[in-house]
Chains A and B, each alone.
Chain A
């Protein structure tokens, strides 16, 4: 998505990304970015919470209108939960036994093969 924002912007279309992966988007370098510190999958606001979705879009629109320069990131003030413990869990290796890691590898090989098949069939 970051690459898409850059390509559109280089061709005269202003963009704003709404996203949850701060490091990945900023590592790429994008014109405007509204960051929500939420679990991946909630770039447009909280589930079944219309006011949070409205606020998230409004912030993104303000970033679109008013960013003074590229690499403008604004962080939404919304919190996913009071407790930040959820942030520890993503790809947390400390919770995986060697057996579990081997199982994840087997699963990933299957996923790769399916994706390859689908890509080649497209």
Chain B
């Protein structure tokens, strides 16, 4: 047995209550009845796998993006970006609402699993990585996400000829 509050945090309720208390209207999260499904058609050990992140490349001019930095809207990005999976990128999450009280973003591997995915390729678990990973903007406008960013993300994943993608939000 565990305690009553030991359940996944009800983020929508907490966030809704919080912004109402601050004097704002309720945000509506995306919600669908139908969910698409494409079974993995290639065994993973022969599949080419992509990686998509919401983390942002470090921008020297954009202020404090270090571990534990306060929410930094200047570090946000609004266009899909792509970087070689051969590189060791410096990606930060100061532009999103991670749990600054209970974690610190000191270790990139907690929100960006590229190093672990490379190991999975070396171990033969994954066939290959896509040549690049992609950054997806965390835009509050679902319309802009749907009409502009998602088609661009799909186009890039198709160019990479991936069979599957791992998506790691931060």
Q: Which residues of A contact B (CB under 8 A)?
A: 1-19, 21-24, 27-31, 35, 37-48, 50, 53-54, 56-58, 60-61, 64-65, 69-71, 80, 84, 86-93, 96, 101, 104-105, 108, 111-112, 114-115, 118-119, 122
Contacts and interface: CB of A to CB of B under 8 A. Distances in A.
Contact of B36 (A10, A23, A54, A58): A10
Contact of A91 (B2, B15, B163): B15
A15 B6 contact: no
Contact of A42 (B33, B74, B111): B111
Interface residues of B, number: 87
Interface of B: 2-3, 5-15, 17-18, 21-24, 29-41, 44, 50, 52, 54, 71, 73-74, 76-79, 93, 97-99, 101-107, 109-113, 115-117, 119-120, 125-126, 136, 139, 142, 145-146, 149-151, 153-154, 157-158, 162-170
Given A44-B116, A64-B40, A1 B167 contact: yes
Nearest to A2: B30
B167 A4 contact: yes
B73 A8 contact: no
B38 to A, nearest CB: 5
A47 B103 CA distance: 8
A115 B158 CA distance: 30
Contacts of A89: 101-102
Contacts, number: 244
B40 to A, nearest CB: 4
Contacts of B170: 40-41, 43
Nearest to B16: A91
Nearest to A111: B73
B37 A31 contact: yes
Given A7-B150, A86-B101, A90-B99, 11 more contacts: A4-B136, A7-B153, A13-B154, A15-B165, A23-B9, A39-B102, A41-B103, A54-B116, A84-B2, A108-B22, A118-B73
